Amino acid sequence: MTTLAITGGQVLLPDITVTRADVLVDQDGGEILEVGDDLASDADETLDATDSLVTPGFVNGHCHVAMTLMRGYADDKSLDAWLQEDIWPTEAELTPDDVYHGTRLGALEMIKSGTTAFADMYFMVPNIADAVEEAGLRARLGHGIVTVASNDEEAREDAREGLEVAEELDGRADGRISTAFMPHSLTTIGSEYLEEFVPQARDLGVPIHYHANETTNEVTPIVEEHGVRPMAYAAERGMVQEGDFVAHGVHLDESEIGLLAEAGTSVVHCPASNMKLASGMAPVQRMLDAGVTVGIGTDGAASNNDLSMLDEARDAAMIGKLETGDASAVPAESVVEMMTQGSADAIGLDVGRLEEGAPADLAVLDLESAHLTPRHDLVSHLAYAAAASDVRHTVCDGQVLMCDRDVRSLDEEAVRTQASEAAEALVDRAEN
Ligand SMILES: N[C@@H](CCSC[C@H]1O[C@@H](n2cnc3c(=O)[nH]cnc32)[C@H](O)[C@@H]1O)C(=O)O
Ligand SMILES: [Zn+2]
């Protein structure tokens, strides 16, 4: 057995308390052997964690990773205008190579900011899987199905691709890749396609993931056309079941929150995207009170504009207070729980907890900086003060992806150069 020890640090435990401990990892099995005292002695490799905080790797519950290529390309617009005027025309020019390079760039950013697992909805998913495998990350991937602008044949082809991706990529990268069936949203895919294809996804045994209730424009048309709220509409089509997860859930009423809680369908909260696109404020504290599993996601880099879960955690805490008018809502413990266990549970990965037997996915944050001084409460620091650049080591599945800010699984320089070139050529094609 090859072992890795992370020594001398403060460790964030599953009950969201911090204690002084070492972590011993079985690298072959990718599993945590022990969290305790003096575990260093005969490990094959040691990562120093003195004056550092060891946390579970952060879990980004909803993303479109390859959209890093469009970071900063179209800002300051509402969701509909942004998608229709800028994003979709540019995405129409994306090549499989672009998606690969954009995903590698996003993976690099995630490794550098302590994220070890994510859920992703995009297209050309085999190229995404290649980049994930190379980067050493863990992911739940799916093909985003949109039928609004297609004829029947194209729509069914797109839905079939969603099924194929879910079936064929599941288990790739030594099991680090799993899949889901991903209709884009309740308003961008026709009801007849949901009725035909959701049962087939159920037969594959994969979860279903989609954007829901992100803006009022995603609520009103469903109420007008079908006479029920979107979550009831989704439930009627078999899309609100245990293990399913929706992105956003901004405009949810009490009946919908109750439905999600009862079904065991999770919500991935994307606060930065919701603020930037002026979509609204999700009722996160009410969802938590009702027993809904809530995770946190960045959404794509073009509506955020970064993939740092630490930024997202702070945004979640801040907007949670603003939404309720109560400064005790969505406290530090809740956001730290949501960015680790909450997101992991939402996307159905058995990660997010540093304990014996758990997958060895973790991040180590350097605490020796002005903005993390003094150290009254490290959970508070994680939620409110820590930044992506504080992350010094990242480990996924027992493998060291970054050591002392040096990324091992990817050539940082090459990834950035190739992604920049792909992004420039992409925008050129889209504009000419
Ligand atoms: N098969 C579809 C792609 C769907 S992937 C997921 C889509 O979600 C888009 N997207 C990114 N952020 C958001 C958001 O916040 N709400 C809705 N859609 C988004 C993204 O640009 C991408 O087009 C097609 O060929 O167009
Ligand atoms: Zn999204």
> For residue 107, is it within any domain?
yes
Residues 117 and 170 reside in one and the same domain: yes
Q: From CA 175, how far away is CA 27, in angstroms rounded?
A: 15
User: What Rg do the C-alpha atoms of the chain give, in angstroms?
Assistant: 21
Residues 312 and 185 reside in one and the same domain: yes
Residues 262 and 206 reside in one and the same domain: yes
Residues 362 and 272 reside in one and the same domain: no
> For residue 422, is it within any domain?
no
Residues 327 and 399 reside in one and the same domain: no
> For residue 369, is it within any domain?
yes
212 C-alpha to center of ligand 1: Å?
12
The distance of Cα 218 from the centroid of its chain, to the nearest Å, equals 22
Q: From CA 421, how far away is CA 259, in angstroms rounded?
A: 46
Residues 376 and 300 reside in one and the same domain: no
**Ligand 1 atom nearest residue 70's Cα:** 21
Residues 184 and 136 reside in one and the same domain: yes
Q: How many CB atoms lie within 10 A of CB 274?
A: 24
What is residue 38's predicted lDDT score, i.e. its pLDDT? 86
- Residue 64 labeled ligand binder: yes
Give the mutation target among 63, 67, 83, 304 for probing the ligand 1 site: most ligand atoms within 8 A of CB: 83
**Number of domains into which the chain is organized:** 2
Question: Which residue in this structure is represented by tokens 């992506």?
Answer: 388
Q: Which two tokens stand for residue 228?
A: 């029920």
396's enclosing H/E stretch is strand 391-396
- Residue 211 labeled ligand binder: yes
Residue type, 247: A
Residues 339 and 359 reside in one and the same domain: no
Helix 96-112 with 412-431: angle, nearest 10 deg: 140
Give the ligand whose atoms come closest to the C-alpha of residue 159. Answer: 1
Cα torsion angle, 83, 85, 86, 92, sign = positive
285 C-alpha to center of ligand 1: Å?
27
Give the mutation target among 91, 182, 246, 304 for probing the ligand 1 site: most ligand atoms within 8 A of CB: 91
Phi, psi of 114 (to 5 degrees): 85, 10
Q: Which two tokens stand for residue 204?
A: 């594959």
Instruction: Establish whether this prediction's ipTM goes over 0.85.
Output: yes
5 C-alpha to center of ligand 2: Å?
37
Strands 209-212 and 294-296: unpaired
> For residue 417, is it within any domain?
no
* Terminal alpha carbon distance of the chain: 56
3-state secondary structure of 293: coil
352 C-alpha to center of ligand 1: Å?
27
The answer to whether the CB of 303 is under 6 A from ligand 1 is yes
Residues 231 and 91 reside in one and the same domain: yes
The answer to whether the CB of 387 is under 6 A from ligand 1 is no
Q: From CA 85, how far away is CA 399, in angstroms rounded?
A: 42
Alpha-carbon torsion, ordered 394, 398, 401, 405, to 10 deg: 40
Q: From CA 312, how far away is CA 318, in angstroms rounded?
A: 10
What is residue 42's predicted lDDT score, i.e. its pLDDT? 84
> For residue 389, is it within any domain?
yes
Instruction: Indicate the residue among 331, 347, 363 that finishes a domain.
Output: 347
Residues 107 and 168 reside in one and the same domain: yes
The answer to whether the CB of 274 is under 6 A from ligand 1 is no
Residues 35 and 90 reside in one and the same domain: no
Distances in Å between the Cα of 27 and the Cα atoms of 30, 99, 222, 248, 350 are 5, 30, 49, 36, 17
CA nearest to 297, candidates 362, 239, 246: 246
3-state secondary structure of 132: helix
CATH of the domain at 276: 3.20.20.140
Q: From CA 341, how far away is CA 154, in angstroms rounded?
A: 38
Query: Which residue range forms the structural domain that includes residue 362?
Result: 3-56+354-407
What is residue 41's predicted lDDT score, i.e. its pLDDT? 74
Q: From CA 189, how far away is CA 417, in angstroms rounded?
A: 36
What is residue 39's predicted lDDT score, i.e. its pLDDT? 84
What is residue 25's predicted lDDT score, i.e. its pLDDT? 97
CB 287 within 8 A of CB 252: yes
CB within 8 A of 106, min separation 6: which ones?
63, 65, 66, 67, 68, 301, 307
> For residue 132, is it within any domain?
yes
CB within 8 A of 44, min separation 6: which ones?
2, 3, 4, 27
Residue type, 233: Y
Q: From CA 410, how far away is CA 415, in angstroms rounded?
A: 7
Q: From CA 293, how far away is CA 303, in angstroms rounded?
A: 24
Residues 129 and 234 reside in one and the same domain: yes
What is residue 253's predicted lDDT score, i.e. its pLDDT? 98
Residue type, 302: A
Q: How many CB atoms lie within 10 A of CB 64?
A: 26
Per-residue pLDDT of the chain (432 residues; tens, 9 = 90+): 999 999 999 999 999 999 999 999 999 999 999 999 988 778 999 999 999 999 999 999 999 999 999 999 999 999 999 999 999 999 999 999 999 999 999 999 999 999 999 999 999 999 999 999 999 999 999 999 999 999 999 999 999 999 999 999 999 999 999 999 999 999 999 999 999 999 999 999 999 999 999 999 999 999 999 999 999 999 999 999 999 999 999 999 999 999 999 999 999 999 999 999 999 999 999 999 999 999 999 999 999 999 999 999 999 999 999 999 999 999 999 999 999 999 999 999 999 999 999 999 999 999 999 999 999 999 999 999 999 999 999 999 999 999 999 999 999 999 999 999 999 999 999 998
Instruction: Indicate the residue among 347, 379, 396 that finishes a domain.
Output: 347
> For residue 426, is it within any domain?
no
344 C-alpha to center of ligand 1: Å?
22
169 C-alpha to center of ligand 2: Å?
21
> For residue 396, is it within any domain?
yes
Q: From CA 186, how far away is CA 251, in angstroms rounded?
A: 13
Instruction: Indicate the residue among 300, 323, 347 that finishes a domain.
Output: 347
The answer to whether the CB of 273 is under 6 A from ligand 1 is yes
Cα torsion angle, 257, 244, 251, 273, sign = positive
CATH of the domain at 50: 2.30.40.10
CB 55 within 8 A of CB 297: no
The answer to whether the CB of 209 is under 6 A from ligand 1 is no
Q: From CA 80, how far away is CA 101, in angstroms rounded?
A: 26
3-state secondary structure of 215: coil
